Structure 1
Amino acid sequence: MKLSILFLACLMQPALSMGQNSMVLPSSAVTRVYQPAQPADFNTNIYYRNKLELSFETGVLPINIPFVFDVFEGDNYTQKPLHYTLVPIFPSLRWHMGSIRGPGILRGNTDLTASLSITAIPRGPETHYEAFDLGVRRNFVYRNRRTAPYFEYRMGAGFINAKEPHGVQWAQGQDFTFTLMLGSGVRYNFSPRYSMAFGPTYMHVSNLYMSEPKYLDNGINVWGGIIGFNMRLGRPKAESVQ
């Protein structure tokens, strides 16, 4: 009798052991199953494809210089005697055309900018200039940094209250004019939704010789500082993917 009981116990022990092992999982395995994936760079939630932002920028451009591309037009690099100060205001929409990519210091993304330009002229014969501008900005994004250097250019067309047809020498030759802007600076992200940017900007206004020969195309060439604030429109990236 004792031998039978001992034999049955030996047969049941492996089965019990297998049952216990099948129900117990290593703690590391549980951790791997339930641990959420963390992004390697939090900037992937800030700069991503099809992100739309509302931007508001303003600044003061008081420093007059010659046209920066005079060397390509064969003109002598001289400054016009009439000086201007421009105070532009840019309500804009920014559309991020792609996610972060690129090697080394070129890593970043690009956004397309559509702006309405409303510019006051506190110094100069004209008093105001309104235009519509399109531009491209390249953001150079480094891993897990809130700051991102950028470079941008914008081009557009608009209307200025030209004064050379009214007898003011060196003023603008006609109302319809074109805009060229070059700028650089730094963007700082407070969060994935809010950010600001600031930096120097060059602005050129002229009519591309359309008023000549009756009125000279003297143009405006100024630079100074611009500051702007950006706000994401719509849902954050994680929710938009869902």
Structure 2
Amino acid sequence: MSIDESISIPLTHPEATVPRHAAQVVGDALIARTSCRAFTHESVPDETIRAILTMAQRTASWCNSQSWQVAVTRRDGTERLRNALYAHAAEHEPTSTDFPFPAEYRGVHRDRRRESGFQLYNAVAIERGEKERQRAQMLENYRFFGAPHVAVLHVDEQLGPYGAVDCGAYVSTFLLAATTHGVATIAQAALAAYPDVLRTELGLSDDRKIVCGISFGYADSLHPVNGYRTSRADIDDVVDWIDR
């Protein structure tokens, strides 16, 4: 069964069983999913968005706290947030985030990050040292890469790091759910670089902490930026087997 066929899996019945083909469906979605950096202007139908959100709501969480709260933009809401974030990011460097960004990428993590960055720049023909073009490409984060929708995840500050962990799990489920519905996505930590702007534009109180955003819509399949795929480490590079 391919991921573009309809999938009928009960989402609410407590005794629902997993179909025999479920592993293939999930495997297909994991392979098909990629980070989209160029979207068409076509909006995703509300019923499709609700179907994705319904699937994502099944995400496991600590003590079933379901820590995430999600602000999903449509139509003028997307444009208002896009314009506000881009204008601010174009004039201001990030100052502080609600959850610390990595202090440093080193070793294999640095190598993987650099490989991904080189692939991106090669796809859009940005040469090493072209700082202005690199910055322009970075700022596309705040245009949501042209996506008609963005989902911003935020969490109660009292839930701390485990609330953020719950949101990370939700992001993964959302990305896979969207893929099964033919919807392209990109998870964006970059949006969390300006939490005060997001709180203002989304009407959030100060105790709501911004985790990340997910821009989504339909991929522009002809744009070269969507033409590359990142690699994955072999499981033996990331797994230590403890037998005794």
Please tell me the TM-score bracket, short chain as reference.
Answer: under 0.3
TM-score (norm 1): 0.23
Select the structure that is richer in helix: 2
**Which structure is higher in RCO with an 8 Å CA cutoff and minimum separation 6?**
2
TM-score (norm 2): 0.23
